Structure 1
């Protein structure tokens, strides 16, 4: 009998869904995803262009499919779609029992639209629709970046009955716009006759990248120990996002959607791997425990929590006053919140575009080797 890790099991019992921020053909072939579901309480998978670019470096794992695609005369873009959606479809099938056991509330796999479409509303809608059709699994979420242009795409895709993972959220004002786009999409879906109970969504709020940028600015200011503020911004930002989430649910607008069967759009804590070795490696897990949330972790962070993580109850809702104080103090120290979040969004998009270019190059080389 497979034994569940008590630390990750306690996290799940506290209302946090544990999703793995990683996917590869090798992981699928080896069965390690099934193992993490059984022993680490993993109930979902997220992917992004960087993850796929890394996965495709293991050329042997994709050799057979690349040969088939080359023989069929596939373009590079078509081959990328075929390779990545094959992995996502397989992962969705592995997680199908979780999806069924939770009544469709969990067990999701996410795949992102081409990051080059982040500023293209219509292009994002079209590709989201195409990805949903190609993967053709009820436990798929299509990832759409929370850019200004992405907001109407989020609503439009949800309105078609497609579940959405809203990604690359850094700021509280943008998150409130995401909450509005989500509810607008559900309202349109209801008008379109869709079953709202089957339309799921998460809002991926990035955490560690906020600390990386804020802490660098604090240290650059030359203040002694940055006034003890390093390692505070990411958690504070996320905790205040959770407050915005609970406020959005305390409205007549949401109550009408809930009465029609809609599930909540859960906050998802992303970028939870520790980038500063001076901080605890489970900081962004233990510090963000709250009901109706998701934490997507790289395997290293998941294993760190399984080894020595501690669940001490809700560490979010009881900390919002301190979160406000921390962000106020960071602002008083000369760090502009607006500048930080705008820079992080731009950098996040650029990183994913660079990873996508790397992915295209890898696939092009693989196809050429078989032509």
Structure 2
């Protein structure tokens, strides 16, 4: 049984990672302009990119390097609706290229790490709050469908927290099946849809840059920290080059971005996966293989989402993101972070660029303005 522990841990890692946030990914891709087939293809591309990258890095570095799609990035897409999916795909390709550049030029990665954590957290909180309001909205619009989903989530969150979001998803699927007589006509085959990228400066500024920043600050940096906490220090250059290249390749089939797992990373790297640290890489490799298999269900996943009332899918996504939003809100403790949060949440758009970018700019400028000057610092020291 001991030899099976990392395999079981990898299976749980993949199932939890997929079930807890694939609705966020699909909603984000649809908001970015993808049609039903393009969204299904994007989910499949992400699963394959995640799986291949996790297997490659795990076998090569012999470490439990868990890989995931950028859930905060998908949430960002939900809050920046985009009409032309081809230009969104172009932005996804640029985002992957920027991740590779961060691997090639360590000063750029260090620059991302230098973004004050309160400002990065406040930007993420501003993005997530709009989504986390969806369960409340769903209760007012479709109470008979939303109430069981929320109740299941609450009970499992209390007694089996790891399965709270997957349980809520199952409840939502049951509700959809009961209210959709045509469920039997679903084609579960995963479509593969190539989308030629188009290049647009406003999409690059409004999608690629915020997606790159939120992926680095909210996923890759915390992911490295989680691994370091368990005694693993993977080669960051190789991680960024691999995930960046896989992101750009997956973008051509509709995927937005992949990165180091932050939340589920502990499932594969902790002693629960294996007592011996040198055997835990088997867990992340297993998770990668399972993710590829789960990608084959992308057609069924999209069909269920299409059949469901949009607010119900948003409610499940909002429940999945409550923990991330709570942690992000804890970072809003200063004026610069509060301004970042307010501007991001305002959903304003200027020069075709969404509010997440302007929130980061506004908060960064205020942070620089509020820093004590060298003169005042010296005056304080002299007294």
- Tell me the TM-score normalized by structure 1: 0.25
Q: Which has the higher helix share?
A: 2
Q: Which has the higher strand share?
A: 1
- Tell me the TM-score normalized by structure 2: 0.24
Instruction: Choose between structure 1 and 2 for higher RCO, CA contacts under 8 A separated by at least 6 residues.
Output: 2
